[in-house]
Structure 1
Amino acid sequence: MTLGADMDPQAELRIIRAAYAKQIMAAANVVDPRLAAAFAAIPREDFVGPGPWLMLRWFQRDYMPAPDADPVYLYTNDLVALMPERRLNNGQPSLHAHLMHQASPTAGEHVVHIGTGTGYYTALLGHLVGPTGRVTGIEYDPELAARARANLAPHTNVELVEGDGTLVPFDLADVIYVNAGCTRPAAHWLDSLADGGRLILPMTSDEGFKGGAPEQVARAGAVFRIRREGAHYQAAWISPVAIIPCYGGRDTASEKALAEAFAGGGLQKVTRLYRDQEIPHERCWLRGDGWCLAYD
């Protein structure tokens, strides 16, 4: 794409990224100048491998190749294949814009990103917390973790750890941003959330995985924002979601209970997460071992 015959290609891309950031904010229905600046600043092409890329077009329900390796094709509200044979993608920008806005990371905070992938959204989080903040990215898949470590090397406020995000130890976090579908919140996440901290928690049943590879996304799910206030946890539904499953964040019993809760409806009325408390059945949307998501 040529905006001007004599314009430097990087200058062109800066203009394109600025326009992309505005379009993503509009698609997410978000007004957040700091977040828009992050989307405008971080080059997506640094994190998705060499082009031409495979883009997941929802109207086709399949991947379509970009015409060539011009990075301009990356600046749309589409998923970009990272491992197409496993249906692993760099996620939809507008969904992340909505979830990051809900997480509201600010300068100086510590963000833990569970499911870093190849690092694009981790870099955006790093931009949001700035040089006085830091991001701990955690990725279970060894190949993705290696790619993320290389991609994030210039981002000095980001540390990449390979391992199970439900178990890897990390310092107290102001934001825990989970990018995979769980059937329960990890106790480690709840314990490691700072007072005032926010956990972005996608929850998905196994319905979308039946008859397909385990990497396939769930057809239905929900994202909750959990906010810690001392010993208490506020909870709110913030988005539907379709996302890959979280290694270590799923088990048969909690999946069955979650599927039943989805079938029963009422998720948008959830207001609290309780731990180790006897909450009456009629107030519980979903009950697990030592926790429940409940109504006031």
Structure 2
Amino acid sequence: MDPQAELRIVRAGYAKQILAAANTINPRLTEAFAAIPREHFVGPGPWMMLRWWSRDYAPTPDADPVYLYTNDLVALRPERRLNNGQPSLHAYLMHHAAPDAGEHVVHIGTGTGYYTAILAHLVGPSGRVTGIEYDPDLAADARANLAAYANVEIIQGDGTQVAFASADVIYVNAGCTRPAARWLDGLAAGGRLILPLTSDDGFKGGAPEQVARSGAVFRIRREDAEYQADWISPVAIIPCDGGRDEASEKALAEAFARGGWQKVTRLYRDAGIPDERCWLRGPGWCLAYD
């Protein structure tokens, strides 16, 4: 069989397995995962794969791309523990972000571009994706990897500060301690922000299960001047450069210790919300209960 034809079959099976692992039924997303070749975004093989039982990397036996079509993290910069993220988590979060044809997606933490390419496939040629990557080397790789994607622009810079046009989806792929004002301002009416919030406890050499418990992903939906919010997933993810500070990390850690993040329903940009209604408060904003 032609190797590319074989890989198309492998990708189709991979896509179904990834959506099943995410406990998600979404034909458009399944088709997107089947369409995008992961090997175009993770460098030449053999590849270093993160194995959870050893908490370390192990190489694939050779450079056959078939090894990339599993629900595993692939090292991008193993010496820095930077990986191409877990496909099932991204499938689950993209399902909740629900990017549609013709929409504008802003991808914060684009890495080398694999999940940016999937987002670009979902919005189609009538939509567009703005990928923002803090690390200059990763941004350069993403720009090269996505050169053929006419609906993608890659910007190197601080994703909490870089200006962008009004967005239907802001998809954040790094752990923050607070939402950036630019993200809240930049959401269009009906826009969705996928926001991972993580405390520092997850980044001090703890086991993967400890990292997961320290983080939570919220979906923020803008409705005119109001923001609905709901918890959608635990998360283990690298810290967001520019999206963390000591005071907000302390407040977030205390909020996680109290529990109750699953009950959050609103994000307010209002300092006057009573403390008893706030799960997490920052300067001029809070995640709150109805």
| Superposition TM-score tier, normalisation by shorter sequence | over 0.9
Q: For 1:131 and 1:151, how far apart are their aligned partners in 2?
A: 17
Partner amino acid, structure 1, of 2:199: S
Cα displacement (A) at 1:295: 0.3
Q: For 2:253 and 2:193, how far apart are their aligned partners in 1?
A: 21
Q: State the match for 2:52 in structure 1.
A: 58
Q: State the match for 2:109 in structure 1.
A: 115
Runs of 4+ residues deviating >4 angstroms: none
Question: Which among 140, 152, 163 is matched to residue 157 of structure 2?
Answer: 163
Q: For 1:131 and 1:211, how far apart are their aligned partners in 2?
A: 42
Q: For 1:59 and 1:26, how far apart are their aligned partners in 2?
A: 22
The alignment covers a number of residue pairs equal to: 286
| Residue 14 (structure 2) pairs with residue 9 (structure 1) | no
Structure 2 residues not aligned, in runs of 5+: none
Cα displacement (A) at 1:211: 6.1
Q: State the match for 2:29 in structure 1.
A: 35
Distance 1:262 1:179, change over 3 A: same
Please report the RMSD computed on the Cα atoms of aligned residues, expressed in angstroms: 1.1
Name the SS of the counterpart of 2:50 in structure 1.
Answer: strand
Kept after mapping to 1: 8 A contact 2:103/2:168: yes
Give the TM-score of the pair, scaled to structure 1. 0.95
Equivalent positions of 1:268-279 (< 5 A) are 268-279=262-273
Q: State the match for 1:265 in structure 2.
A: 259
Kept after mapping to 2: 8 A contact 1:112/1:138: yes
Q: For 2:74 and 2:203, how far apart are their aligned partners in 1?
A: 21
Structure 1 residues not aligned, in runs of 5+: 1-6
Q: State the match for 1:92 in structure 2.
A: 86
Question: Which among 240, 246, 252 is matched to residue 246 of structure 2?
Answer: 252
Identity of aligned residues (%): 82
Cα displacement (A) at 1:218: 6.9
Q: State the match for 2:274 in structure 1.
A: 280
Name the SS of the counterpart of 1:199 in structure 2.
Answer: strand
Q: State the match for 1:4 in structure 2.
A: none
Partner amino acid, structure 2, of 1:172: S
Give the TM-score of the pair, scaled to structure 2. 0.97
Name the SS of the counterpart of 1:39 in structure 2.
Answer: helix
Q: For 2:17 and 2:139, how far apart are their aligned partners in 1?
A: 29
User: Deviations for 1:90-130, whole angstroms, at most 9, x for unmatched residues?
Assistant: 00000000000000000000000000000000000000000
Question: Which among 263, 281, 294 is matched to residue 288 of structure 2?
Answer: 294
Cα displacement (A) at 1:60: 2.0
Cα displacement (A) at 1:219: 5.9
